Structure 1
Amino acid sequence: MSEASLIASRVDEQAEIMRRIEEDIIFGRLAPGSRLVEDTLMARYEASRHYVRQALVQLERTGIVRREKNVGATVRSYSPEEVRQIYEVREMLTRQAALKIPLPAPKALVEQLRAIQADYARHAETGDLRGMHETNDAFHLVLFSGCGNPYLVQTLQDYMGLTLPMRAKNLADRDGLTLSLRQHEIMIELLQGTDSWALAQLCVDHMQYSKADYLERAAKGALCANASHGIAD
């Protein structure tokens, strides 16, 4: 194997470890607040310490892992107020990006979204969680690329990353997945019309299911914790 091939193989292996840890976090296999011990992760993913450590560094940058001195790495957990604040910013960015997409949208953009949507539906049919997660994100990034402002799209992508633990879990939920698929189809239809405000509102509404679900689960978790400690309302 050439040196270039060896380097490429190492990059691919490291990226795969990061994807596997990310997947276990966003689909709830590693719960919020869980410690991410390097030795445990090395055994879990049959990976070297270097690859695990680099993966944790990258995931810290996306916001779903927190690394603290004397504590180590943990799965990032969010308070209800943090969730509301993050979504508030994401909703503003989403609305602005959608309003900047010229309608009717270019045919090439619509066709690209249809192709991604077809892949998304196929992954949904087979229950491929990673495939659903990746094509769902691809759909939104391609959609928002139509706004013509790469800095706005990059900022949106950053906030999509922050909300991963809150939203991706719903792809494993049949009602959430069905709603996501249907709303994508309507977005494609609206792109071919002239109502920018309807498109923008749907894009904002699209993220409310996962936000509400996460806040509901957080509230139930708090109630259970209070009950276990004998705390009255």
Structure 2
Amino acid sequence: MLFVDNMLNNFETSGLPGSKFALPKEVMGGRMPDTLVYQLENDIIFGALAPGTRIIEDRVIERYGAKRHSVRRAFHELESRGLLVHIPNKGVEVVQFTPDEVDALYDVRLILETAAAKRTELPAPTEVTRKLREIAEKHANAIAQQNFRGVYWLNQEFHTVQFSCCGNPRLATLIELHARIAQPIRVIKYDDKAHMDTVVGQHYAIVEALEGASQEQYVEATRKHLPASAEAYRSHYERRYGRSHSNA
């Protein structure tokens, strides 16, 4: 369980909004989260930089007080995370998914995450399930306080720890990558109390399954946690652009 130990040991206590934990250093690429990458990522995820928005270097330099080389490095990093896209002769834009592209993304996530669940040795180590319960409680509190940035980072943290015990670091990394790409899709449901209450319950169900010995129960708990955000995105997109546009 060396990979699990490394993941748990790399959590910082200096904290992100709503949490005393930060993301593991390897997930953040060795950087602390108060960087230009972190600021731009948050602005994309929470809609300050809307899908399809053209991102201009000079405006980023002015708005964030950054150096040009830092802006270009941030663009490259966020392109690799699937949040920005470089369009020839136009520049860099915030990625904009069609509903069909979202469905394809969630199909991949379902394959990866259930594969990880099937490979996870049960019951999971006590230090993992204890950490997950702590994070789940903080996540629930952030929802109650409508601290949506805290909700986002705590959810990332929860699933990073969850999949750290699948026994395959490459698989865990792929899951993390696709979860990051999906974040602007997931936040659409953050102000839906019924949905978020369901998410809280699903987190605890995942922990309980990890504490048990039933692989089937854990796979099903993992599977149930995925679909709602993709369905909500399709509804949101069709309200904005029309049903025919979503199938173009």
The answer to whether the 8 A contact 2:188-2:232 is kept is no
Superposition pairs of residues 14-93 of structure 1, within 5 angstroms = 16-93=35-112
Q: Which amino acid aligns with 1:171?
A: Y
**Are the equivalent residues in 1 in contact too, given 2:202–2:221 (CA < 8 A)?**
yes
Amino acid in structure 2 at the alignment position of 1:178 = D
Distance 2:147 2:70 in 1: 25
Q: State TM-score, norm by structure 1.
A: 0.84
Question: Which has a greater percent of helix?
Answer: 1
Deviations 1:6-41 (A, max 9, x none): xxxxx9689521111111111122211111112222
CA drift at 1:224: 8.4
Deviations 1:155-177 (A, max 9, x none): 11111122122113433443332
Moved more, 129-138 or 11-20: 11-20
Q: Distance in 2 between matches of 1:224 and 1:89?
A: 24
Q: Which letter maps to 1:162? A: I
Report the counterpart of residue 203 of structure 2 in structure 1.
Answer: 184
Residue in structure 2 matched with residue 206 of structure 1 by the alignment: 225
Please show how residues 152-191 of structure 1 align to structure 2 within 5 Å: 152-191=171-210
Summarize deviations over 1:75-126 as a string: whole Å, max 9, x none: 0011222111111111011111112222222211111111222332333333
What's the % identity of the aligned pairs? 31
Give the conservation status (yes or no) of the 8 Å contact 2:188–2:233. Answer: no
Q: Does 1:130 align with 2:120?
A: no
What is the CA-CA distance between 1:195 and the residue it aligns to? 2.2
What SS does the aligned partner of 1:194 have?
A: coil
1:75 and 1:160 map into 2 onto residues whose CA distance is 17
Larger Rg: 1
1:131 CA displacement: 2.1
Count of matched residue positions in the alignment of Structure 1 and Structure 2: 216
Which of residues 162, 165, 172 in structure 2 aligns to 1:143?
Answer: 162
CA RMSD in angstroms, aligned pairs only: 2.2
Show structure 2 runs of 5+ residues with no match: 1-29
* Letter of the structure 2 residue corresponding to residue 82 of structure 1: E
Partner of 1:102: 121
TM-score, length of structure 2 as denominator length: 0.79
